[in-house]
Chain A
Amino acid sequence: MSADPKSYNKPQRNMLLETDVNGLAQAVVTLTQEVWVLNDRQMVTEAVLAKHGIDIAEEVDTFTPDEALQSKLDERSRAIMQRVFNSLGGISSDE
């Protein structure tokens, strides 16, 4: 058995270099923008619905997307991740 298997719980790992903080800052701002756009959309959606007398909070919480919506959601989340991860890795995204 290797010396102490518990040493694998938190392996020593230097992932980023000092030079990466620039990319990191870009990524964090990109992410903040994305989070904001979503927050805005959600609050606006709820406000529009409330105007029509509909409270959707609980239904949203328990909603199961159908296949068509799920694949749209998947596509969107992959695109967001790519934007953030790519800016961290210094890869230019088309978007």
Chain B
Amino acid sequence: MSEELHARLRQRGRASVDFLANFGFGMSDLRNSVEEEIQRIVPDPDALPDDLDQRDARMQQSLGASQAYRATQAVGEWMATHHGLVAKHAFEEVREEMEPILKKFEQGGSTVEANPDMEAPAYWDGVDFHRTAGGWDEHDYQGYIHADIVHTRLVAKTFPGGIFAQRRMVAALPPKDHYDKIIDMGCSTGHFTRALQETYPDAEIYGVDLSLKTIQQAQRLGNANGWSWKLYQRPGEDTGFEDETFDLATSYILLHEIPADTIKALFKEAFRVLKPGGDMIMSDVTRYADLDKLAMWRADAGAKYGGEPHWRASASLDLAQIARDAGFVDVTAKAFDPFKYPYVVQGHKPE
């Protein structure tokens, strides 16, 4: 993020955001205690029920006897419901001085095409993803609040592997050194788009996302860095671009936010808009198939209480097969250690 775009929060907002950033450390004794309890009640993960709902019921029942577990749940619930509000209040304290800067970076080579008539799909509309009240689009500056406060000051502080370094690593994976035209599906506030532009400095980059507020933030990021991104409020599964337009089609952690049939449609759309010989790279969360039953339960419970209605179905899919079904060849899938994250699928559109 350009320095100018990085808000200087006032004391109340700054300290409140720091409080959230330190939350995981504050919970560490509780978590250690719960961990010991889990090891005790689940000596063999394989023996847990196959069915995910039954497995969760079993875990909740066993762990429900632990005061530390109950406290973890209660404290975690506070975080789930409050992080978005704290971030929003922190922004409101500096809105007056930030607004001219945000407006300034809406001018420049990066452009946004809003789509007020777009019918927002039911899998997205009104869903508070990540339990953030209002989802991706509630506040005028929701994209900014997400990118500068939630991602940069909270998630980036503790995310294993680093959210920006991970994106740069993935952006460098496609086989060619150069791409003329790239489409980034579900580009949101532009974190991965940025990694792409830094990796392929001459590429002309297009981004699509359902959320207008997030692509407005991507626009500011693009302009603050002198990049000319063309951003569209459009669904990734129906981008409206001509056949054979792009050399590289990408998405980064979009797929777990959309239902299975939409994921299939999205791969087909990527295939359609790629030129013959074009490359595809899609990254998403750890596959359930790469986890033991206990780790899978952890991921699944995290999704259930973390505002992720599509995670379970999405993380259960074989994305490589979906890519092949869409027409891609030389399809590879790789889960990065140590957390089998990100999970990266690559493929090629035949000449």
Contacts and interface: CB of A to CB of B under 8 A. Distances in A.
B68 A90 contact: yes
B127 A8 contact: yes
15 contacts: A1-B261, A2-B312, A8-B308, A9-B126, A9-B128, A16-B70, A20-B67, A23-B71, A64-B8, A73-B15, A73-B18, A77-B18, A77-B19, A89-B68, A91-B30
Contacts of A23: 67, 71
A90 B67 contact: yes
B33 interface: yes
A82 B29 contact: yes
Interface of B: 8, 10-12, 14-15, 18-19, 21-23, 25-30, 33, 64, 67-68, 70-75, 77, 122-124, 126-128, 131, 259-261, 304-305, 307-310, 312-313
A17 B74 CA distance: 11
Contacts of A91: 29-30, 33, 68
Q: Which 7 interchain pairs have the tightest Cβ spacing?
A: A81-B26, A89-B71, A5-B309, A1-B259, A89-B68, A15-B74, A90-B67
A60 interface: yes
Contacts of A5: 122-124, 127, 309-310
A51 interface: no
Nearest to B13: A61
Given A82-B25, A88-B75, 19 more contacts: A1-B122, A1-B123, A1-B261, A2-B313, A6-B127, A9-B307, A16-B70, A16-B74, A17-B70, A63-B11, A77-B18, A80-B26, A85-B75, A88-B74, A89-B29, A89-B67, A89-B70, A91-B29, A91-B33
Given A9-B127, A77-B18, A91-B29, A2 B309 contact: yes
A53 B16 CA distance: 29
Name, among B29, B126, B308, the residue most crowded by chain A CB atoms within 10 Å (CB to CB): B29
A86 interface: yes
